[in-house]
Structures are given as structure tokens and as C-alpha cells.
Amino acid sequence: MRIELGAADLEEGELRGYDLGKRAVCVARVNGRYKALDDWCNHAGCLLSGGRVDGNLVVCPCHEVGFDLDSGANATSPGVCDDQPTARVTVEAGRLILDVEEG
């Protein structure tokens, strides 16, 4: 399923959360590319979009676990949190488009 998120206007290293109803995603811009993963930390229930970008990681604002933006893997504290689902983000005509699996 393709979902238009809005203008592709994130600054380098910026995070933004999008509420999609049954799912929320966190989009980051890293090295000029947009990347997305689920926004809710599955351990502490915090919004990852309230955290920060550190290299290719999104760092949870509640307990500092870093999730890899390419794979969604918990890269800093294995066993503390499950990996996060990711989604592909593209830019078309200046707009962010999220491709998510239905189900």
C-alpha cells in the first residue's frame, strides 16, 4: 500500500512522526535519503520520533536504545526491545511516499 505523507522537507538528521491510524511511523533523513520505521518503541511505548538520529540509528528518548534505520534492528541493546518494522520511503514530485505491507 502506498501512503502519501506530505512534503519532503525534513532537514538532514531530522525525525518526524506520522500517525497512520492503526500504525505510526517515524521518518528520518540521513545522508540525503529518507528512511522509516515504526514509531512506537515496543519496550517503553515511547514515540521514537521524539528521540534523535545518531548516524544511521534512531535513539529512543525513553531508554536510549538505538534502532538501525535500514533493518529496524535493535543495534545497541539486544534483548531489551524487539526489532522495529521498517518501510520504504520514496520522494515523488517533492512529496514523501511510504510503501507499507498490508496485513
The SS3 of residue 50 is: helix
Domains of the chain: residue spans and CATH: 2-99 (2.102.10.10)
Q: How many CB atoms lie within 10 A of CB 74?
A: 22
Express each pLDDT in 30-63 by its tens digit: 999 999 999 998 877 899 999 999 999 999 999 8
> Which triple of cell numbers denotes residue 72?
529496524
Within 8 A by CB and 6+ apart from 57, the residues are: 66, 67, 68, 69, 75, 76
- Report the pLDDT value the prediction gives residue 75, as an integer from 0 to 100: 94
Mean of pLDDT over the chain: 92
